[in-house]
Amino acid sequence: MPEIDFSKIDWFTVGLIALAAVAIIFMFRSSRRRRQQEQDMRSQIQPGAEVMTQGGFYGTLISIDPEKNEAIIETTPGTRLRVHSQIIARVVEPQEPVAEEETPAEAEGPQVIPPLDEDPKYGERTTKPRTPRKKSGE
């Protein structure tokens, strides 16, 4: 078995090759994950689903024809768009309305700002109107 002389190995080249191998592994993992997400989204696309297009239009999917790659989306009642099926960017999940809670400041009531007897400190809010600056040359 031949011996390897480690003093003659170019470690910079070995490091670059290792870095390239790690980058390639991450690219394959990323593309696989993206493909899986696309398949999951495509399985959710059914008539009646709320969708968003790549152009930012929201609507309800009325029908989809995989042979023609066409989809019909109703954006508002009576307004239907015929689009390429690949333009559907995602299926919109219905969101539950968030109950508005009172913040502690609202619970205490309106805050009263005391009148200013002196100039405000840095960062302090005032009710006094600002005086406009004079333009140079005036």
Q: Are residues 70 and 29 in the same domain?
A: no
CA distance 55 to 70: 16
3-43 pLDDT tens trace: 777 777 788 888 999 999 999 999 999 999 989 988 888 88
CA distance 63 to 45: 10
Residue 106 is assigned to a structural domain of this protein: no
3-state secondary structure the chain: CCCCCHHHCCHHHHHHHHHHHHHHHHHHHHHHHHHHHHHHHHHHCCCCCEEEECCCCEEEEEEEECCCCEEEEEEECCEEEEEEHHHEEEECCCCCCCCCCCCHHHHHCCCCCCCCCCCCCCCCCCCCCCCCCCCCCC
Average pLDDT over residues 89-104: 68
> What is the predicted pLDDT for the residue at 122?
74
For the question of whether the overall pTM of this predicted structure is more than 0.85, the answer is no
99-128 pLDDT tens trace: 666 555 555 666 666 665 666 677 777 776
Residue 138 is assigned to a structural domain of this protein: no
CATH of the domain at 85: 2.30.30.140
56-77 pLDDT tens trace: 999 999 999 989 989 999 999 9
Residue 133 is assigned to a structural domain of this protein: no
Q: Residue 33 belongs to what domain range?
A: 8-43
